[in-house]
């Protein structure tokens, strides 16, 4: 079972990283996701980052 504080911190960091990825894609490649699609893609990227963190954590535990 995951600690709730850990889940919140990981989710917050993943949300920030996802935002950086989205802004980089817009700045460097001219990719614009729109309002609805951008928010959905932002959430998907954040969930992928959060899930991969837990997978790596379990790998070394």
DSSP 1-61: ---HHHHHHHHHHHHHHHHHHHHHHHHHH-----HHHHHHHHHHHHHHHHHHHHHHHHHT-
pLDDT confidence tier of residue 45, bands split at 50, 70 and 90? confident
pLDDT confidence tier of residue 1, bands split at 50, 70 and 90? very low
Instruction: With a cut of 70, say whether residue 30 has pLDDT above it.
Output: no
Instruction: With a cut of 70, say whether residue 32 has pLDDT above it.
Output: no
């Amino acid at each position: 079972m995951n600690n709730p504080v850990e889940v919140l911190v990981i989710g917050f960091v993943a949300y920030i990283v996802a935002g950086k990825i989205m802004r980089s894609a817009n700045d460097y490649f001219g990719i614009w996701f729109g309002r609805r699609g951008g928010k959905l893609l932002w959430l998907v990227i954040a969930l992928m980052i959060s899930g991969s963190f837990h997978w790596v954590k379990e790998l070394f535990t």
